[in-house]
Amino acid sequence: MFTTVLIANRGEIALRVARTCRELGIRTVAVYSTADQDSAVVRFADESVHIGPAPSKASYLNIPAIIEAARRAGADAIHPGYGFLSENPDFAEVCEDEGIVFIGPPASVMQKLGDKAVARAMMVEAGLPLLPGSTQAIDTVTEAHALADEIGYPVIIKAAAGGGGRGMRIVRDSTDFARAYRETRLDAQAVFGDGRVYVERYLESARHVEIQVLADRYHSAVHLGARDCSVQRRHQKLVEESPPPGLPDSLIAEMGAAAVRATVAAGYVGAGTFEFLVDTENRYYFMEVNCRLQVEHPVTEMVTRRDLVADQLRVAAGEPLGFTQAELTGHAIECRVNAEDPARGFAPAPATVTHFAAPGGPFVRVDTHLHSGYRIPAAYDSLLAKLVVWGPDRDTAIARMHAALRELRVEGPGTATTADFLRDVLDHPLFRDGKHDTSLVGDMLFGGPQ
């Protein structure tokens, strides 16, 4: 096992990784920007290193600064968390060159799976079903437009290097295609530094279901059940749960087997997630692979009773998985609470928290970096906390989550959170009945798809 792990991230995930490392007796090193100098992980870690000013490009995306911090601290491994450099194959390769273990898949595998168009082609070879569309990036608007007309509208144009719900546009009419294609390419270049895009059929009413996989260096892989991530706003997940309500066990088993098959074929190592769309007839289609720990991994931990960060560390250290399929028990739900104001169109609400009180009670978990006096920075993602609950059944889990959201307190001048909006989601009849899909939030806010 590792002696010292540097955590190349911030916020709740940095603190969550540090806690598991401490349980395993691993020394931790936190990195922080000027905006995060009073963050919880800075106080919690065994050592903290300042890596730059607030802008991400000068701090959390600054590979030389992070590598230098790892050298100075004597770190033998780096955990990238999620976001930032977690799916950057260049960073993984630099770590390998420096003799530092990157806690994630090999750079070569990440390079292939991180390119969404290349990943689609790989999944075709592995026998996974895909929606009609291109299996490689399309370089001209003429070619892309012709394909869209062929497969039928609506279609979605996606950035080949995209992720996190960014770099995509839905097109419902042929007359809008050329404009949407150009705008998506420009956005993809600006956000990801890569303007390549691909096109696929868009499902209006679909479930977003993902399979958690875990693989070791010895070609052994397992899946740890499925998560439903259908409650989304502008492709950003708000609520996740496991198992997905209303889907037959046989379908989840089939999707899990397909994900494991593709995991082994790709030579994947570590924790990863295969994302699928499921239509109204319970047919599933591959979307993408996330080569990292997901924000919503705690719901899987709650129903499997496994620590996925500990599993990541052991696999990265060269240990075999040591288990086959984990048994799933009960039902878990996660709500992402963001510093956003729903009354102002979900505008970010950076502020100073004068009072913070986390909910509690049986089977309630709160992953957060918040504390009274914390200044919510404007420079980063607005995620404040992840509330996660477990119950023996879905109805119990929903009631427990409702109570946890009501109990949460984030107070201070200018503070605003999405907690009350999330309670409205839980109360929606379609969600209560487990019959919701990705259009739920759009219907709630605008009376139709976003």
Structure token digits, residue 345: 């169109």
Structure token digits, residue 175: 């007359």
Which residues contact residue 395 at a Cβ distance below 8 angstroms, ignoring those fewer than 6 apart?
none
Distance (Å, rounded) from C-alpha 100 to C-alpha 77?
5
Task: Say which of 292, 314, 336, 400 is annotated catalytic.
Answer: 292
406 among known catalytic residues: no
Q: Where are the alpha helices (DSSP H) in 291-449?
A: 297-304, 308-316, 394-407, 419-427, 429-432, 440-446
Is the alpha carbon torsion for 262, 266, 271, 275 positive or negative? negative
Distance (Å, rounded) from C-alpha 159 to C-alpha 163?
8
Going from the C-alpha of 219 to that of each of 262, 308, 404, the distances in angstroms are: 11, 18, 41
Distance (Å, rounded) from C-alpha 169 to C-alpha 159?
9
Which residues contact residue 420 at a Cβ distance below 8 angstroms, ignoring those fewer than 6 apart?
342, 405
Is the alpha carbon torsion for 317, 290, 14, 54 positive or negative? positive
- Give, as one character, the DSSP assignment of residue 138: B
Tell me the Cα Rg of the chain.
21
Residue the block writes with tokens 């994900």:
259
Distance of CA 147 to the CA centre of its chain: 30
Of 411, 416, 408, give the one whose Cα is nearest residue 373.
411
**What phi, psi does 250 have (nearest 5°)?**
-65, -35
- What is residue 191's three-state secondary structure? helix
- Contact between 233 and 289 (Cβ < 8 Å): no
CB atoms within 10 A of CB 186: 11
Strands, sheet with 155-163, edge to edge from the N-terminal-most edge strand: 166-171, 155-163, 197-201
- What is residue 38's three-state secondary structure? coil
Distance (Å, rounded) from C-alpha 314 to C-alpha 325?
17
Structure token digits, residue 226: 């499925």
**What phi, psi does 331 have (nearest 5°)?**
-135, 135
* Burial label, 210 (beta-carbon count in 10 A; 0-12, 13-18, 19+): buried
* Burial label, 117 (beta-carbon count in 10 A; 0-12, 13-18, 19+): buried
Residues involved in catalysis: 292
